[in-house]
Amino acid sequence: MATPRTSPEVGGMGHSIKRKEDPRFLRGKGNYVDDIQLPGMLHMDIVRSPFAHAKIVKIDPSKALKVPGVLAVITGETLKQYNLHWMPTLMSDTQMVLPVEKVMYQAQEVAAVIATDRYAAADGVEAVEVEYDPLPVVVDPFKALEPGAPVLRTDKPGKTDNRIFHWEVGDRQATERALAASDVVVKQDIYLPRIHVASIETCGCVADFDRVRGKLTVYMTTQAPHAIRTVIALVAGHVGLSEEKIRVVSPDIGGGFGGKVPVYPGYVIAIAASVVIGKPVKWVEDRMENLQADSFARDYHMTARLGAKKDGTMTALEIKTIADHGYADAAANPSKFPAGLFSICTGSYGFPNAFAEVDGVYTNKPPGGIAYRCSFRVTEAVHAIERMTDVLAQELKMDPADLRMKNFIPPEKFPYKSVLGWEYDSGNYPAALKKAMDIVGYADLRREQAAKRKRGELMGIGISSFTEIVGAGPSKQFDILGIKMFDSCELRVHPTGKATARFGTKSQGQGHETTYAQIIAEELGIPAAHVEVEEGDTDTAPYGLGTYASRSTPTAGAAGAIAARKVREKAKKIAAHLLEVSEDDLVWEVGKFSVKGAPQKSKTIQDIAFAAYTNHPQGMEAGLEAVDYYDPPNLTFPFGSYICVVDIDRGTGEVKVRRFVAVDDCGNIINPMIVDGQIHGGLTMGLAPALFEEITYDESGNIQGGSFMDYLLPTAMETPKWETDKTTTPSPHHPFGAKGVGESATVGAPPAIANAVVDALSHLGVRHIDIPITPEKVWNILKEKGVAE
Amino acid sequence: MGKHTIKVTVNGDAHESEVESRLLLVHFLRENLRLTGTHIGCDTTHCGACTVLLDGVPVKSCTVLAVQADGREVMTVEGLEKDGKLDPVQEGFYQEHGLQCGYCTPGMMMTSCALLKSNPDPTEADIRRAISGNLCRCTGYVNIVKSVQHAAAAARTRQQDARAGR
Amino acid sequence: MIPASFDYHSPKTLSEAIDLLGRYPDEAKVLSGGQSLLPLLKLRLGSAGHLVDIGRIPGLEYIREEGGYLKIGGRTRESALEASDLVRAKYPILADTAAVIADPLVRNMATVGGNLAHGDPANDHPATMLALGAGVVATGPKGERTIPIDEFFTGLFTTALSPDEILTEIRIPAPPARSGGAYMKLERKVGDFATAAAAAQVTLGGGGQIERAGIGLTNAGPTPVRATAAEQFLKGKKGDAAAIAEASRLAAQAASPSPDRRGAVEYKKEMARVLTARALAKAIARAQGA
Amino acid sequence: MALEITKTFTIDSPKADVWKFLTDPERVARCLPGAAITQKVDEKNYLGTITVKVGPVSASYKGKVRFETVDEASGTAEIVASGQDVKGKGGAEMRLKSLVVERSPGQTEVTATSVVNITGILAQLARGMILVLSDQIFQKFTEAMRKEVRKEGQ
């Protein structure tokens, strides 16, 4: 990015100003859901099923009701009276709030205990007696598709199998022909395991129904408060909750990463309890509930075929996927995209032919299919193509960097229409890879590797040159339950020249209070310090679809810029009036309008704001404010090249990430400090599933990895010192050329790490290892190849 | 069952409360004293979001009983700022962007404070080791390491200034 | 996650604590650092009617050499062990061990006595104490008795302590000259229990041959494992690569680990071998330098 | 999680005594540490409880015992015991198949296969422990069984 246009005092784009949200967090004065304490507030705790699939024979609350402090036990039968025992998912599927007939996964909600404090509620949970009659458990999605497999969704009339959806994109026949005509075709099964975002704050809410006013206020850990309000109105409209009487407040959020987009049963039960009892009800998950019952990510079983000419030119790509969604499709994709944006799977390469298909499957696992800090299913797509590129390089005995350079969509071809239908807005892939190779010292590393191999030491170098697709999205294609995926800003400039800007998104650590203020500062010259940003309260903020899929800057950020430009338009009229010149005679420079050729004659935005309330032209409305609902013309396509260097312990199979260089291109940057922070965090959430995190199930449906004892979040000791750099290719269609960055690194890092490990072992004939690459997996290979210590 | 009267000094203020035996220190701080800066993240002693100083030593307050703190001193994030001046650790986290969502931050800072007390000039390896009982999901730790280094330098400067009578 | 109700006692003297344990024979549990016990209670996997906190009894936290032994008070915190100059200089195997138990914050509460008395074969001190040939001092209504570490671990989560006894001290024979030890642990991440770990303590003779070797394995069976065949084999051998290889092979044979997410049986046994070899090599190097 | 353990052992008792034992749930329960039959529903169905304790960890299950197969001619008996943790934390099912063969007069060989399936929190957190425990319980059971069969036979 070029030098900032604004002064440090104004703090517009390109300034690493310190974060406006930090003072409260640093003093322990954040306001997270569990910090909210309302008069008379009750606590809710949830009875969960130890069985993955079982009929509910009987729920006996009598002992629980005798526990001191326990006031009520809510069951599916209670909710059934109000027809609230089922609810829709964001993917137009249905899921239980509380079961009436059977449970479908281990840790599913079975009943809720309402008590005067959380200790009593926990005691009550233990005292609720539930009798189950276990049913056959289906955990393997391939077995779930076999004829004769037990049909899990017996609630769906006429459902005779466990298939949820079939989705495909591209030309199947043409791709098949192109593969047949290729000089070389490599094929690989690639599994991206089930993982969980595990934000350090779990999910929860405080539901507060005011019987007198008939108003429901819900403080909720949600990334999308407005959409949630609409969902509540749709689900509970029939019991009298009307949208204008519902206020959803998303307070400070301790990390979201996609896990706080869905509506969880706990929220609905707490709301129902508050409405019925007439008191505030707090529900906050513990960590095991969070890992075991909240929406998971990934769980994609992919089989990819990649065809190429002898010289390495890629000719065709085909990926077939079985997607394990658990017992309900509770993904949070745009509604028309059951497999999200998986069709970005042609990646950074110019494929003439491609075909992808995904089949969604029901199993006895928690529902989901949400993102894990990535745009919808983009990590899966990028992992597939970046792994396959290395598999092909190995087959052709080509250097993986050379193979990438050969197949990159050339910079001059942008905007580029991909064979699977996307119009990539901009890109310069060779520049990013070249920069990463220079920083890491690629040629030297290859020499070091060769020398080490002679000594029997194992080191590997892995590249990932990913393309992301974020900023959903244009209303012609993108909606959630019919609501178009625009986002919004409402900007008010006050008489003294300070501003309040409200947005439809919701920060969970991304620093919107700072970066949005910088956007306004850039556009209006009002210092960022004097722009107050508000989000997350549906009573005050304009409607928006929320923060996930790296959409805030591409959509709401754009709305902020456009709203500011609307304000500037009006300001220009006022300035013309004040300076007694025609609007055409005015020029704008940061923070002021001045008369062409007479720069001493000018009015600052502060002068103009004051005039807007005190001396506005007759016939013009007073005030200085604007609203923008921004409908992006296209998505944005951030990209980057990552290079990872690993060393492998031949005795234990441990993988040590020695270096990791990340060159990112997210277009124009609002706050470089924050962007670096986003990349560091994203890289760590890329490292995590690459080497550590995984949720599995045994044949009885028992979750493995359901606590932090076995779900392994990397600490500072496992995390390398990330090295970051940038290239800048502005988005041509975004108002200030930005692209979104929060998730690029999560998407790009896993294949770089996997490629590095495979590279370390490639001379032994190893071609692929599924993530997470655990020491045991590596050791098994070392042993099989006869090189274990 | 089993109530106990405990006297705990928290951030310099003496508190006397009657608590149940099983009350966890973190709940005592958050709910009885309404000091909600100390967070809960995992319940199984893995995440460190609940870290407080107990007699100056960082511990996970979700795995300490309130009764165990009887007669002892607890310091939480709310006690870091003195006379309107941020602690060097708070200043370091602010300057080096050592926090994002802010949820792990109080625990991370309490651990860092204790580290700097015992080791005023820690290496990067020392810092990484010291904070390895505190999980952060947002920052990737790079800027947290820088924040602690920043704090170490600032604390040294403050001490020198104090010695020089400035 | 909230524990079920219990009553809490904070005796000021050892005898008061022992009385309490005797008063509630089936219900009372000793609360030392609480870093294993409280999570169990919070998960409601276990229950206790009474917790007897030994944290307010003076004189249970110390590390000192006395009468040919290193004596560690039962309530000595892991962090104290880790920071002790005496331990670092003379008992590096203990410093190695303390440094890899759970994480630094847990080590500020967790105690050496608790780590042993919990009887968890996944804990780290048992293997080290086996390698060192330690003795465990139990204090009960009839006074003190010393239990040799080899007799201490009687089963999964069970020890030779009677319900009314408290582990008050660990006694480690002071190593002769030319002794060295090391503890090597493979863990999936900081804070995890060992996939496998090995403790090795050796004493070399004047000619460099091994006079005594102690080898203990962590998480290698229902109880902590002492690799006696390997120890026997090493006696009188020069600590060269061949001897280390054979001893570590023998040590792995003594392991009967359970499969879990850390690894299959074969992997864990092989890791016992690899880590024993590494621990032995380091122990011998330290002994040579001592 | 299903754990299968098979043990073959010889008892110095006639086959008839062994058979009598294996088809009497009350006696079988007596040999299982912590187990008890609380009610006989009919010839093939019983209700019972079992408490398993390992150090600080304990779990109590309440459930049913059912004879699936009782075929004296082939010497095969199959008992299924299934129960739920009284605090709602999980379930356990044990399928015990026994094959009883007379090796010589007064010498009976028993091949017992137990398949234990555990669901819930113990299966999440304590897989290794369950393995060790199942083995220990089975070991104790077979030891107690020898004594019990001989005692009754005398």
Confidence of residue C179 (pLDDT cuts 50, 70, 90): very high
**CB-CB under 8 Å, B136 with A27:** no
**CB-CB under 8 Å, A700 with D123:** yes
Nearest CA in chain B to C39: B44
Q: What is the pLDDT of residue D114?
A: 87
CA–CA min distance C2, chain B (Å): 8
Nearest CA in chain D to C121: D129
Residue with the bigger pLDDT between B160 and A405: it is: A405
| Exposure b/e, B115-139, CB count within 10 A at least 16 = b | bbeeeeebeeebbbbbbbbbbbbbb
- If we measure between CA atoms, which residue out of A297, A775, A308 comes closest to residue A548? A297
What whole-number distance in Å separates Cα of residue A464 and Cα of residue C228?
50
- If we measure between CA atoms, which residue out of B55, B73, B71, B102 comes closest to residue B13? B73
Residues of B in contact with C8 (CB under 8 A): 2, 4, 21-22, 65, 67
Q: What is the pLDDT of residue A368?
A: 86
**CB-CB under 8 Å, B129 with C42:** no
**CB-CB under 8 Å, B93 with A708:** no
Chain C segment 122-151 residues within 8 A of D by beta carbon are none
Best residue in C24, C103, C107 to probe B by mutation, most B CBs within 10 Å?
C103
What whole-number distance in Å separates Cα of residue A476 and Cα of residue A466?
26
Sign (positive/negative) of CA torsion B71, B72, B77, B78? positive
**CB-CB under 8 Å, D90 with A134:** no
- If we measure between CA atoms, which residue out of D92, D90, D81, D103 comes closest to residue D28? D81
**CB-CB under 8 Å, A774 with C188:** yes
Q: Given the DSSP bridges, would you call strands A598-604 and A696-697 parallel, antiparallel or unpaired? A: unpaired
Nearest CA in chain A to B107: A28
Half-sphere exposure (Cβ direction) of A376: Cα atoms closer than 13 Å: 25
Give the total residue count for chain A.
789
What integer best gives the mean pLDDT of chain B? 96
End-to-end CA distance of chain B: 55
The Cα diameter of chain D in Å comes to 48
Give the total residue count for chain B.
166
CA–CA min distance C177, chain A (Å): 31
Whether the CB-CB separation of A70 and A309 falls below 8 Å is answered with no
- Which alpha helices (DSSP H) does C92-200 contain, by range? 92-98, 104-107, 112-117, 125-132, 149-152
Residues of A in contact with B94 (CB under 8 A): 18-19, 22-23, 26
- A788 CB contacts (<8 Å, ≥6 apart)? A650, A651, A653, A779, A782, C270
CA–CA min distance B61, chain A (Å): 15
Q: Does residue B1 register a pLDDT over 60?
A: no
Active-site residue set of A: 223, 373-374, 743
Counted across chains A and C, CB pairs separated by less than 8 A come out at 56
CA–CA min distance A788, chain C (Å): 10
C66 close to D (CB below 8 A): no
What integer best gives the mean pLDDT of chain A? 97
Both tokens of A183, joined, read 């000089």
- A753 CB contacts (<8 Å, ≥6 apart)? A462, A644, A646, A655, A657, A660, A686, A687, A690, A691, A771, A773
E strand or H helix that includes residue C168: strand C166-173
**CB-CB under 8 Å, D121 with C46:** no
pTM beyond cutoff 0.90: yes
What whole-number distance in Å separates Cα of residue A383 and Cα of residue A177?
25
Residues A572-586 have pLDDT tens digits of: 999 999 999 999 999
Query: By mean pLDDT, which of A23-27, A341-345, D14-18 is the weakest?
Result: D14-18
Q: Does residue C16 register a pLDDT over 90?
A: yes
Confidence of residue B166 (pLDDT cuts 50, 70, 90): low
What integer best gives the mean pLDDT of chain C? 97
Share of chain A above pLDDT 90, in %: 98
Q: Does residue A1 register a pLDDT over 70?
A: no
Q: What is the pLDDT of residue B115?
A: 98
Q: What's the average model confidence in pLDDT over A753-769? A: 98
Whether the CB-CB separation of A776 and C263 falls below 8 Å is answered with yes
C-alpha B129, offset from chain centre: 16
> Which chains are adjacent to chain D, needing at least 3 Cβ pairs under 8 Å?
A, C
Assess: ipTM above 0.90. yes
Looking at residue A117, what DSSP letter applies?
A: S
Q: What's the average model confidence in pLDDT over C31-39? A: 96
Residues A76-125 have pLDDT tens digits of: 999 999 999 999 998 989 999 999 999 999 999 999 999 999 999 999 99
Residues A497-540 have pLDDT tens digits of: 999 999 999 999 999 999 999 999 999 999 999 999 999 999 99
Counted across chains A and D, CB pairs separated by less than 8 A come out at 55
CA–CA min distance A123, chain C (Å): 7
Amino acid at A588: W
- A306 CB contacts (<8 Å, ≥6 apart)? A185, A186, A187, A314, A316, A317, A388, A389, A391, A392
Q: What's the average model confidence in pLDDT over A133-156? A: 97
**Edge-first strand listing for the sheet containing A458-467:** A458-467, A639-648, A655-665, A723-726
Three-state SS at C79: helix
Sign (positive/negative) of CA torsion A368, A203, A134, A700? positive
The Cα angle at residue A339 between residues A335 and A343, in degrees rounded to 5: 115
- If we measure between CA atoms, which residue out of C42, C52, C284 comes closest to residue C180? C284
What whole-number distance in Å separates Cα of residue B141 and Cα of residue B108?
10
Whether the CB-CB separation of A304 and A66 falls below 8 Å is answered with no
Neighbour tally for C187: CB within 10 Å: 20
Best residue in B35, B100, B108, B134 to probe A by mutation, most A CBs within 10 Å?
B100
Nearest CA in chain C to A688: C189
Q: What is the pLDDT of residue C2?
A: 96
**CB-CB under 8 Å, B22 with C105:** no
CB-nearest partner of C261 from A119, A123, A710: A710
**CB-CB under 8 Å, C119 with D122:** no
B48 close to C (CB below 8 A): yes
Whether the CB-CB separation of B48 and B111 falls below 8 Å is answered with yes
Best residue in B1, B3, B22 to probe C by mutation, most C CBs within 10 Å?
B22
CA–CA min distance D126, chain C (Å): 9
**CB-CB under 8 Å, C191 with A715:** yes
What whole-number distance in Å separates Cα of residue D108 and Cα of residue D32?
21
CA–CA min distance D55, chain C (Å): 5
Q: What's the average model confidence in pLDDT over C95-106? A: 98
Neighbour tally for D142: CB within 10 Å: 16
What whole-number distance in Å separates Cα of residue A222 and Cα of residue A369?
17
- If we measure between CA atoms, which residue out of A43, A27, A21 comes closest to residue A252? A21
CB-nearest partner of D88 from A128, A700, A707: A128
Q: What is the pLDDT of residue D3?
A: 82
Q: What's the average model confidence in pLDDT over A157-186? A: 98
**CB-CB under 8 Å, C46 with D132:** no
Tokens 């609350």, residue? A61
What whole-number distance in Å separates Cα of residue A442 and Cα of residue B142?
23
Alpha-carbon distances, residue A637 vs A414, A688, C190, C271 (angstroms): 11, 24, 37, 45
Best residue in B138, B145, B147, B148 to probe A by mutation, most A CBs within 10 Å?
B138
Q: What's the average model confidence in pLDDT over A681-695? A: 98
CB-nearest partner of B57 from C31, C38, C108: C108
Alpha-carbon distances, residue A527 vs A164, A398, B24 (angstroms): 51, 53, 45
Q: What is the pLDDT of residue A2?
A: 67
Peptide bond into A280 cis (omega under 30): no
CA–CA min distance A113, chain C (Å): 14
What whole-number distance in Å separates Cα of residue B144 and Cα of residue C39?
28
| Exposure b/e, B49-66, CB count within 10 A at least 16 = b | bbbbbbeeebbbbbbbbb
Residues C108-153 have pLDDT tens digits of: 999 999 999 999 999 999 999 999 999 999 999 999 999 999 999 9
Sign (positive/negative) of CA torsion A464, A467, A469, A471? positive
Half-sphere exposure (Cβ direction) of C68: Cα atoms closer than 13 Å: 3
Best residue in A25, A660, A661, A676 to probe B by mutation, most B CBs within 10 Å?
A25
Whether the CB-CB separation of B43 and B25 falls below 8 Å is answered with no
Alpha-carbon distances, residue A220 vs A209, A268, A704 (angstroms): 14, 11, 28
B38 close to A (CB below 8 A): yes
**CB-CB under 8 Å, B21 with C39:** no
Tokens 């220079």, residue? A438
C-alpha C235, offset from chain centre: 23
Q: What is the mean pLDDT for each group of 10 consecutive residues in chain D (154 residues)?
A: 84 90 88 91 93 85 92 92 91 91 91 90 85 84 86 64
- Which alpha helices (DSSP H) does A399-471 contain, by range? 400-407, 429-440, 442-455
**CB-CB under 8 Å, B36 with A35:** yes
What whole-number distance in Å separates Cα of residue A563 and Cα of residue A491?
6
